[in-house]
């Protein structure tokens, strides 16, 4: 049964959505821009895209298809202990890479840089494995939440320090399938525990 449009939209979220922060068309346009820069910078080299599960699945899928460079894809899942929507920088590997990244041109693909602690940890972990180069492409960054500076060459959008969902980003595993990035109404979130990308 297809009662309305072909994809999930803001009307599916009812009172859970506060506002749409980045509409689908802007996300897709930005991904194409990022892909063009990456293609130019990596010309003649094969890229190993490392997606951080689960939040990066959408940006990985769209970025990979916007690139003309030859790419392989691999995935890591990490979990950072923290309270509720805050990460602590204490990171645990839930799923490691399948590939050996020694002498490869590795580009980490992230959904969001919040405190930067997870990415900082991930970069030093991957750096120790001897890649030919290590770069980062993150769709979103919250400059006001930074606890540590990380050198990120490809950034989609700087956003306010608010909890966001959609386009891979979840709250309690929901809302990842929204094609836009939005903010969640404050009444929806709270609590504490271990947070997985």
Closer to ligand XMP by CB, 47 or 57: give it.
57
Angle at CA of residue 151, ends 157 and 183, nearest 5°:
30
Q: Which of 47, 52, 194 is nearest to 135 (CA)?
A: 47
151: annotated active-site residue: no
Q: How many residues bind to ligand XMP according to rule CB under 6 A? A: 20
Of the residues 164, 178, 180, 182, which one makes contact with ligand XMP according to CB under 6 A: 164
Q: Which of 76, 196, 68 is nearest to 136 (CA)?
A: 76
The active-site residue, picked from 100, 114, 158, 170, is 114
Q: Is residue 182 within the footprint of ligand XMP (CB under 6 A)? A: no
Angle at CA of residue 178, ends 175 and 182, nearest 5°:
80
Report the alpha-carbon distance of residue 70 to residue 67 in Å, rounded. 8
| 85-144 positions binding ligand XMP, by CB under 6 A | 87, 111-119
Q: Which among 37-45, 119-127, 158-166, 169-177 is the span making contact with Mg ion, rule CB under 5 A? A: 169-177
Report the alpha-carbon distance of residue 53 to residue 23 in Å, rounded. 22
**Interacting residues with ligand XMP (CB under 6 A):** 55, 80, 87, 111-119, 163-165, 169-171, 195, 197
| Catalytic center residues | 114
């Amino acid at each position: 049964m297809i009662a309305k449009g072909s994809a999930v939209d803001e009307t599916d979220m009812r009172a859970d959505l506060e506002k749409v922060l980045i509409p689908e068309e802007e996300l897709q346009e930005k991904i194409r821009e990022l892909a063009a820069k990456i293609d130019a910078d990596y010309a003649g080299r094969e890229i190993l895209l490392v997606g951080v599960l689960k939040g990066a699945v959408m940006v990985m899928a769209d970025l990979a298809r916007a690139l003309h460079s030859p790419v392989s894809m691999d995935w890591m899942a990490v979990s950072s202990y923290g309270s509720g929507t805050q990460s602590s920088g204490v990171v645990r590997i839930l799923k490691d890479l399948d590939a050996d990244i020694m002498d490869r041109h590795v580009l980490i693909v992230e959904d969001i840089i919040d405190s930067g602690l997870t990415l900082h940890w991930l970069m030093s972990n991957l750096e120790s494995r001897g890649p030919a180069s290590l770069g980062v492409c993150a769709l979103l960054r919250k400059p006001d939440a930074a606890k540590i500076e990380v050198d990120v060459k490809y950034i989609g959008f700087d956003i306010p320090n608010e909890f966001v969902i959609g386009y891979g980003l979840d709250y309690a595993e929901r809302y990842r399938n929204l094609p836009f990035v939005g903010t969640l109404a404050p009444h929806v979130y709270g609590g504490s525990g271990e947070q997985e990308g």
